[in-house]
A and B are shown apart, each in its own frame.
Chain A
Amino acid sequence: MDISLERQIASASRSVEEARRMSYNDPSRTGDLVEHISVLADLRQKEGDFRKAEGLYREALFRVQDLRKPDHELLAGIYSLLAYLYDRWGKMDLAAQFYEKALKLSEQHGFQDADKAATIKNNLAMIFKSLRKQEKAEQYYQEALDSFRALYGEENAKVASVYNNLGVLYYANLDVDRAQSMHEKALAIRQNLNGSDIDAADLSQTYINLGAVYKAQGDFQRAEECVDRAKKLRASANGYAPVARRSASLLLDRSA
């Protein structure tokens, strides 16, 4: 295992233990404890120990629920962290369940952070897609898209990501025309982003996806053009060349 990760985990678990001691005598320190716990859980997740990460998040969850003064924002945060964990763990049902809890809470209490809510919607849509609930997936993508557009306007990397995801969803449903229009929108945005926002990997992904769409329509010439551009982009991006396994799964959408 990665030695620096090991060291980080050791120091994080010491902090958690210390925080447990503090909050044992003084319940008002629970907020600190929850923070330390989520740091450790994140490291555990990196290490690949999902069981321990789950236990830690759940400890945090129940501690926050037991607080005298309910902290809804913190609670919603833990819900979405748990959901993200289950998402990575492949437990899609649970992931969807906790994302929805987080969303419901944020709607009830009207949090300021609309960006977070929109991100959750996007992630939820991805989960429903993998659960093959196409309608729900589409609905959540649309909602996420509307929120991001309202927040940042049309020309934004996050908006482009959702277009891309929608395109992939339509493509999977054999709705090639709509997929094409989504990917073209994504391309238009991604090409014109400011210097620092341009992500060569995202852009080349869009070319690959567009290529797949053109190919499905029988337009092999344009398909090849797209794939060539994608290849060039990847080659120029720090000598990064896609590995074989990755190429085989190129149609997977990248998480927002």
Chain B
Amino acid sequence: MREIVSIHVGQCGNQIADRYWRLILREHGLNENGMPKDGSSVSANSNMEVFFHKVRDGKFVPRAVLVDLEPGVINRIETGEMSKLFDEGSIVRKIPGAANNWARGYNVEGERVIDQIMNVIDAAVEKTKSLQGFLLTHSIGGGSGSGLGSLILERLRSAYPKKKIFTFSVAPSPLISDSAVEPYNAVLTLQRIRDNADAAVILDNEALFRIAKSKLHRAPNYMDLNNIVALIMSSVTASLRFPGKLNTDLGEFVTNLVPFPGNHFLTASFAPMRAIASEGQVRSNFPDLARETFAQDNFTAAIDWANGVYLSACALFRGDVKAKEVEENMASIRKSLNFASYVPTGIKIGVAETAPEGFASSGLALVNHTGIAAVFERLVAQFDIMFDNHAYTHWYEGAGVPREKMAEARDTVADLAKSYRDAS
């Protein structure tokens, strides 16, 4: 069993959901309506219960809760190919929108909708036998994903104190910016992620753009970016869903990846990053695959690699890989990574038999690197410039988040950055 409930919040979270569930459906040999495809053997060979629950007519319904404060993206999912896939009872959408304001998502609009969301999540949890944890996808720069996402995290933690909570959090990019108040939203959300999540994979659109552009050899669009995120999310849970020699679950990831409480901010890499050609599978030999998996420019966040050390790393290989090859190649990769002096240079390794569709084999790396402090420091610096000049703060005060609370969040994130720097 070991079921996982996925929660997708806000525009970004639901766009990821769109790509992610397409991928998961294909991996499990299901069509867009959640029915097994004719002649597919995949479903027999995998643990469907992790992500789906089966209803009477043989349909598999995702254990997913979709939440948004504006109907746009969810409408597109509902009118698209997967219109019959999701349970309408587990879609929560409200009209007003959070207007890019964390405080509106957290207090004003969130207050009115959080109970419904928690009831829907409770109902999803009641359908599980032994729940392992939650995956939450959201962006931390916007309004709904950040503010409402924070509120959901807090309530989730208090309702399910012992379940693992994994977030996939899209952070504002250093250069591209969607809105002026992103640093406020991000800092306020990071505080909640630090306090309530077990692990957070930080993704940033600029890094994703860079990866997509250099590997796909064409101008990438948001679908490509979300596809990368979907591949990472699917790999994290692969060994729960498919048989393999080395199993890893969310709990094992957390134990291995988090050396100090609160320092649970990770970055991820997926390899091989290739455009899936229509004619066949992407094949790569294992040494190349392993090297690409741990290549610095393949990671999804703007990490300060030069001024930092690895605290921990996990790797999960899928598909056609041999245990002997894994052993040999990972030994040399281990040596090439700059680990903190007090950490034994172990890399937790998992292997699952089934690769994502279109790949013969694939690799996933999840690492905890102290260079992630750079992401927080940049956000705090941007926060300070606006905050010290009282710019835009009235929107937050007006929605019940006084300046003291904002300063408190800022200090939490600054401390977080410092604790990472100190750990180097």
A residues with a Cβ closer than 8 A to B are 13, 16-18, 20-21, 24-25, 51-52, 54-56, 58-59, 62-63, 65-66
* Of the residues B89, B113, B115, B126, contact of A56 by C-beta under 8 Å: B115
On whether the beta carbons of B115 and A24 are closer than 8 Å, the reply is: no
B110-123 vs A, CB cutoff 8 Å, 1 = contact: the mask equals 00110110111011
* Contact assessment for A55 and B115 in the assembled complex, using a CB-CB cutoff below 8 Å: yes
**CA A58 to CA B126, docked complex, whole Å:** 20
Q: Is the CB of B122 within 8 A of A52?
A: yes
Chain B contacts of A21 at CB under 8 A? Answer: 87-89
- A58 and B123 CA atoms in complex are apart in Å by 16
Expressed in whole angstroms, the Cα–Cα distance for A246 and B116 within the complex equals 39
Interface presence of B399 (CB below 8 A) = no
Once A51-B159, A62-B112, A62-B113 are accepted as A-B contacts, the answer to whether A56 and B88 lie under 8 Å apart by CB is no
Within 8 A of A (CB), among B156-203: 159
Q: Name the CB-closest residue of B to A14.
A: B123
> Which residues of B74-124 have CB atoms within 8 Å of chain A's CB atoms?
87-89, 91, 112-113, 115-116, 118-120, 122-123
Decide if B126 touches A13 in the complex (CB within 8 Å).
yes
Whether A62 contacts B89 by the Cβ 8 Å rule is: no
Cβ-Cβ contact count across A and B, 8 Å cutoff: 39
Task: Report whether A55 and B119 are in contact in the complex, using a CB–CB cutoff of 8 Å.
Answer: yes
Check A59–B159 contact: CB distance below 8 A.
no
Q: Find out whether the CB atom of A16 lies under 8 angstroms from the CB atom of B116.
A: no
Asked if residues A58 and B115 are in contact (CB atoms below 8 Å), the reply is yes
Q: Report chain A residues within 8 Å CB of B126.
A: 13
Identify the closest chain A residue to B124 (Cβ): A17
Q: What 5 A-B pairs have minimum CB-CB distances, sorted nearest first?
A: A58-B115, A20-B89, A59-B116, A55-B115, A21-B89
In the complex, are the beta carbons of A63 and B116 less than 8 A apart? yes
9 A-B residue pairings within 8 Å (CB atoms): A17-B89, A18-B89, A20-B88, A20-B89, A21-B87, A24-B88, A52-B119, A54-B115, A65-B112
Of the candidates B112, B118, B119, B126, the one having the most CB atoms from chain A within 10 angstroms of its own CB is B119
A contact face: mostly helix, strand, loop, or mixed: helix
Number of interface residues of B (CB under 8 A): 15
A-side contacts of B116, CB under 8 Å: 59, 62-63
A51 to B160, CA, bound (A): 12
Q: Which residue of A lies closest to B121 (CB)?
A: A55
A54-B87 Cα distance, complex, nearest whole Å:
24
B94 to chain A, nearest CB (A): 8
A25 to B75, CA, bound (A): 12
Q: Which residues of A contact B91 (CB under 8 A)?
A: 24
Q: Are B122 and A55 in contact (CB under 8 A)?
A: yes
CB distance from B62 to the nearest CB of A (A): 15
Check A62–B115 contact: CB distance below 8 A: yes
| Assembly CA distance A13 to B120 (angstroms) | 10
Known A-B contacts A55-B115, A56-B115, A62-B116; the reply to A24 vs B89 at CB < 8 A is yes
- Chain B residues contacting A56 (CB-CB under 8 Å) are 115, 119
Q: Given the complex of chains A and B, what is the CA–CA distance between A55 and B112 in angstroms?
A: 11
Check A16/B159 contact, CB under 8 A, given A21-B88, A55-B115: no
A55 touches B118 (CB 8 A): yes
List the B side residues contacting A55 at CB < 8 Å: 115, 118-119, 122
CA distance A16 to B115 in the complex (A): 14
**What distance in Å separates the Cβ of B64 from its nearest Cβ neighbour in chain A?**
14
Q: A24-B88, A58-B115, A59-B116 are in contact. Are A16 and B123 (CB under 8 A)?
A: yes
Known contacts A62-B113, A63-B116; can you find 7 more A-B pairs with CB under 8 A?
A17-B89, A17-B123, A52-B122, A56-B119, A58-B115, A59-B116, A62-B112
- Distance to closest chain A CB from B203 (angstroms): 30
Give Cα distance in the complex from A55 to B88, angstroms: 20
CA distance A18 to B55 in the complex (A): 14
A25-B118 in contact (CB<8A): no
Q: Shortest Cβ distance from A29 into chain B, in angstroms? A: 12
Q: Which of A16, A18, A54, A62 has the most CB of B within 10 A?
A: A62
Report Cα–Cα, A62/B89, bound state, in Å.
17
Identify the interface centre among A16, A25, A58, A59: most chain B CB within 10 Å of its CB: A59
Q: How long is the Cα–Cα vector from A52 to B118 in the complex, in angstroms?
A: 9
Q: How far is the CB of A82 from chain B (nearest CB, A)?
A: 11
Residues of chain B contacted by A65 (CB below 8 angstroms): 112
Q: Bound complex: CA of A241 vs CA of B345, how far in Å?
A: 71
Tell me how far the C-beta of A54 lies from the nearest C-beta in chain B, rounded to whole angstroms: 8
Closest to A9 in B: B126
- Once bound together, how far apart are the Cα atoms of A38 and B282, in whole Å? 54
Of all chain B residues, the one with the shortest Cβ separation from A19 is B89
- The answer to whether A20 and B115 touch (CB under 8 A), given A13-B126, A25-B88, A51-B159, is no
B77 to chain A minimum Cβ distance, whole angstroms, is: 14
Chain A residues with CB under 8 Å of B123's CB are 13, 16-17
Give B328-378 interface residues, CB cut-off 8 Å to A: none
- Minimum CB–CB distance from B115 to chain A (whole Å) comes to 4
A126 nearest CB across to chain B (Å): 27
In whole angstroms, what is the CA distance A66 to B118 when docked?
A: 18
CB distance from B150 to the nearest CB of A (A): 18
